């Protein structure tokens, strides 16, 4: 929902083109530039509230966000550095921490790549052609957003676990999916499935098919058309999807927790290690890992904001 | 490759190929695994299923999850409206920063949010200590779950309502004002009613997210059976006890609930679409 609303804010006919249930994507900030560009005529304007009420509303908003959102973030860094910088870096240099960082990067690389390819393919089929059931297909792609992370992990236990449908076969052939990297990657692919497709579909629908049709009629092959015409047009949207997909892949906890088995140094991703260390009262170590994830979140937010501006600028020449 | 008959009015290639790949991959990653969940449930008799779902511990976990999620979504609805109003309608120092801050609960990994909130609200925490002096214990109680759910849900209301409030035609308000409505009437009789679909959608999204939320809740929850144990945690516990049937039954109840919420949101969006005059 949120991601889509933001991406297509400038196009009213697209904003509501399909109901979505994205319950986990970071939403882009709407086009503040436009709002800001309007002359501020607060004083005589019948469209605003008396001064004291304005102050109360602003104070409530700032207090709420500070207490519920900013403070937890500050706590992460304060706790991570509570025993000093040396303890912080010592915690990050632990073999267990390094193993978790490596595994997280590996799993994110796998799931982002897979979802990138799928996302582009799905977006091409959905946005460049007309067919019945399109809205339903988009709803299906969105499904992982509305499934509890724990259930996203559970389904793979039911498929590949010892009592699962493929469990006996896998055991007989000595293939390890659950409590191993493939299971963690599968669960992560599941939860991050919609991100890239969701970022591309509204963008590609808006761009239409004229440019591609022109390329084809001039003799370009399908792949040439995609790489020379479509890809340059969607590169920022694609990057946007990859960014959000990556953030979620690295930060996923519930789904991965169910399929990982928590084998120390082997199947613990960074979020899982945060949990383990916290439960062992190793607060500095736990928050040191958590601070890396928090930084990832902050960098993602900044990059997202920049990308949104790019996307907005890219839309302007189309007439807005 | 020529587009298939289904792909009308398009001369672009690759419809058959990309649609085939899309459906195949969608089935492998999403549909078959979810189907496995329902298939597993059908191995239970209706009595068994009912027995699991209505057992005291399960019922309490579901009540805690749904009840607190609903309460948290209500808080999000009110606070989200206030925040979105301040962000869209007023100019104040740091406005753009606070606008970006709204996204943090989306971006912060849930486990990080979980340990941070716990640390913050624990008895010796920055907020937990003063609250403890007032006799309010937050961490390791249902209040902690409630707080975590508020944290995780706030962006949904803000981000759903924000574009609608920005796009709201200023002439409507001016007309109301020029017809003699005071500001109070204009806000509550003219503006808020036109935000209702977006508000309800944001509410439903926050509600759905809170029901399924795991990472940011379990650290602060205390996880006492029947008191502060959420349904997703009970699924994990049943799995670790190898009671797959129990885990599956609870999961199916939750999944059906979230499908109902998706359906409701879809309806809401259609309703909203019908209300918006064609541009």
pLDDT value of residue A25: 43
Reported ipTM: 0.90
pLDDT value of residue B64: 96
Mean pLDDT score of chain A: 85
For residue A172, what are its two tokens? Answer: 């007989």
Asked if A71 and B279 come within 8 Å (Cβ–Cβ), the reply is no
Smallest CA–CA distance, residue B110 to chain A, in Å, is 7
DSSP string, B95-121: HHHHHHHTTHHHHS-HHHHHHHHHHHH
Interface test with B, best of A3, A10, A23 (most B CBs within 10 A): A23
pLDDT value of residue B277: 54
Q: How many Cβ atoms from other residues are within 10 Å of residue B226's Cβ?
A: 12
Query: Percentage of chain A surpassing pLDDT 90?
Result: 70
If you average pLDDT over residues A260-284, what whole number do you get? 93
Q: Out of B9, B83, B89, whose CB is closest to A65? A: B83
Q: For chain B, which residues score pLDDT lower than 50?
A: 1-8, 278-279
- In total, chain A counts a number of residues equal to 320
Interface test with B, best of A11, A17, A19 (most B CBs within 10 A): A19
pLDDT band at A243 (very low <50, low <70, confident <90, very high): very high
Residue A130, classed as helix, strand or coil, is strand
- What residues in A contact B116, CB-CB < 8 Å? 72-73, 75-76, 79, 290
pLDDT value of residue B183: 84
Smallest CA–CA distance, residue A258 to chain B, in Å, is 7
**Rounded to 5 degrees, what are φ and ψ at A130?**
-100, 130
If you average pLDDT over residues A99-118, what whole number do you get? 97
Element (H, E) at A211: helix A210-217
Interface test with A, best of B106, B245, B261 (most A CBs within 10 A): B106
pLDDT value of residue A197: 96
Q: Which residue has the tokens 């509890």?
A: A148
**Rounded to 5 degrees, what are φ and ψ at A253?**
-120, -60
A317 has pLDDT over 70: no
For residues B18 and B76, what is the distance between their CA atoms, to the nearest angstrom? 40
The alpha carbons of chain B give a radius of gyration, in whole angstroms, of 23
Q: How many Cβ atoms from other residues are within 10 Å of residue B84's Cβ?
A: 27
For residue B180, what are its two tokens? Answer: 């003699």
More confident residue, A26 or B140: B140
pLDDT value of residue B189: 85
Asked if B22 and A130 come within 8 Å (Cβ–Cβ), the reply is no
The alpha carbons of chain A give a radius of gyration, in whole angstroms, of 23
pLDDT value of residue A263: 86
**Rounded to 5 degrees, what are φ and ψ at B94?**
85, 10
Does A38 contact chain B (CB < 8 Å)?
no
If you average pLDDT over residues A32-40, what whole number do you get? 45
For residues A231 and A14, what is the distance between their CA atoms, to the nearest angstrom? 21
For residue B168, what are its two tokens? Answer: 């709201």
Among the listed residues B245, B46, B60, the one whose alpha carbon sits nearest the alpha carbon of residue A154: B245
For residues B257 and B150, what is the distance between their CA atoms, to the nearest angstrom? 20
If you average pLDDT over residues A126-147, what whole number do you get? 92
Q: Out of A50, A61, A67, whose CB is closest to B82? A: A61
Among the listed residues B248, B180, B230, the one whose alpha carbon sits nearest the alpha carbon of residue B60: B230
A-B contacts (CB, under 8 Å): 363
Q: Out of B127, B151, B247, whose CB is closest to A154? A: B247
Which one-letter DSSP state was computed for residue A82? T
pLDDT value of residue A20: 43
For residue A292, what are its two tokens? Answer: 């890396």
Q: How far is CA B94 from CA A52, B134, B214, in A?
A: 19, 32, 32
pLDDT value of residue A310: 84
For residue B89, what are its two tokens? Answer: 């309608």
Asked if A271 and B183 come within 8 Å (Cβ–Cβ), the reply is no
With beta carbons less than 8 A apart as the criterion, state whether B88 and A35 touch.
Answer: yes
With beta carbons less than 8 A apart as the criterion, state whether B161 and B200 touch.
Answer: no
- Count CA atoms within 13 Å of residue A219 on its CB side: 0
Say which range, A102-116, A201-215, A243-257, B75-89, has the weakest mean pLDDT.
A201-215
Question: Residue B255's closest chain A neighbor by CA?
Answer: A147
DSSP string, A252-281: --HHHHHHH---TTTT--HHHHHHHHHHTT
pLDDT value of residue A46: 62
Q: How far is CA A131 from CA A85, A126, B5, B6, B10, in A?
A: 58, 8, 10, 6, 11
A44 has pLDDT over 90: no
Interface test with B, best of A35, A151, A225 (most B CBs within 10 A): A151
Does B33 contact chain A (CB < 8 Å)?
yes
pLDDT value of residue B178: 84
- Percent helix / strand / coil, chain A, rounded to 5: 75, 0, 25
Say which range, A120-129, A176-185, B189-198, B225-234, has the weakest mean pLDDT.
B189-198
- What residues in B contact A49, CB-CB < 8 Å? 183, 187
- In total, chain B counts a number of residues equal to 279
């Amino acid at each position: 929902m949120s991601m889509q609303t933001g991406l297509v804010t400038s196009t009213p006919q697209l904003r509501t083109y399909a109901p979505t249930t994205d319950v986990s994507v970071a939403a882009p900030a709407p086009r503040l530039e436009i709002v800001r560009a309007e002359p501020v005529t607060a004083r005589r304007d019948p469209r605003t509230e008396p001064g004291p009420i304005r102050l109360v509303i602003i104070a409530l908003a700032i207090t709420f966000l500070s207490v519920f959102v900013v403070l937890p973030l500050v706590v992460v860094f304060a706790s991570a550095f509570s025993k000093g910088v040396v303890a912080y870096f010592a915690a990050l240099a632990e073999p267990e921490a390094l193993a978790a960082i490596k595994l997280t990067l590996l799993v994110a690389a796998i799931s982002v790549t897979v979802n990138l390819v799928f996302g582009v393919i799905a977006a091409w089929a959905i946005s460049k052609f007309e067919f019945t059931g399109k809205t339903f297909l988009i709803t299906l792609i969105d499904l992982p957003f509305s499934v509890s992370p724990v259930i996203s992990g559970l389904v793979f236990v039911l498929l590949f676990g010892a009592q699962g449908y493929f469990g006996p076969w896998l055991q007989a052939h000595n293939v390890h999916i659950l409590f191993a990297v493939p299971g963690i990657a599968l669960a992560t692919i599941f939860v991050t499935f919609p991100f890239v497709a969701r970022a591309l579909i509204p963008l590609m629908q808006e761009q239409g098919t004229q440019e591609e049709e022109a390329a084809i009629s001039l003799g370009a092959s399908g792949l040439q058309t995609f790489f020379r015409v479509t890809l340059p047009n969607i590169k920022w949207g694609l990057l946007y999807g990859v960014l959000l997909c990556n953030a979620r892949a690295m930060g996923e906890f519930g789904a991965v927790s169910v399929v990982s088995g928590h084998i120390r140094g082997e199947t613990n991703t960074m979020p899982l290690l945060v949990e383990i260390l916290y439960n062992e009262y190793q607060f500095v170590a736990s928050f040191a890992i958590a601070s890396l994830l928090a930084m990832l979140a902050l960098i993602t937010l900044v990059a997202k904001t920049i990308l949104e501006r790019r996307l907005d600028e890219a839309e302007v020449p189309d007439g807005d | 490759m020529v587009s298939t008959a289904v792909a009308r009015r398009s001369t672009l290639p690759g419809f058959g190929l990309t649609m085939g790949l899309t459906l195949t991959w969608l089935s492998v990653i999403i549909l078959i695994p979810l189907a496995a969940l329902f298939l597993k449930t059908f191995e239970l008799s209706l009595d068994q299923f009912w027995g699991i779902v209505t057992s005291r511990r399960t019922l309490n976990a579901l009540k805690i999850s749904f009840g607190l999620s609903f309460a948290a979504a209500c808080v999000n609805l009110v606070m989200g409206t206030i925040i979105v109003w301040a962000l869209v309608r007023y100019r104040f120092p740091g406005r753009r920063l606070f606008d970006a801050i709204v996204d943090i609960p989306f971006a912060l990994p849930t486990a990080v949010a979980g340990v941070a909130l716990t640390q913050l609200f624990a008895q010796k925490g920055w907020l937990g200590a003063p609250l403890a002096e007032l006799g309010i214990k937050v961490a390791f109680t249902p209040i902690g779950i409630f707080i975590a759910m508020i944290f995780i849900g706030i962006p949904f209301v803000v981000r759903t309502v924000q574009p609608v409030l920005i796009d709201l035609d200023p002439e409507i308000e001016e007309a109301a004002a020029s017809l003699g409505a005071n500001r109070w009437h204009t806000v509550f009789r003219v503006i808020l009613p036109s935000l209702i679909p977006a508000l309800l959608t944001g509410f439903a999204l926050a509600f759905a997210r809170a029901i399924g939320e795991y990472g940011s809740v379990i650290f602060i929850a205390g996880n006492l059976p029947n008191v502060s144990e959420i349904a997703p945690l009970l699924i994990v516990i049943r799995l670790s006890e190898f009671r797959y049937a129990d885990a599956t039954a609870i999961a199916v109840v939750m999944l059906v609930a979230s499908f109902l919420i998706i359906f409701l949101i879809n309806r809401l969006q259609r309703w909203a679409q019908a209300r918006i005059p064609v541009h």
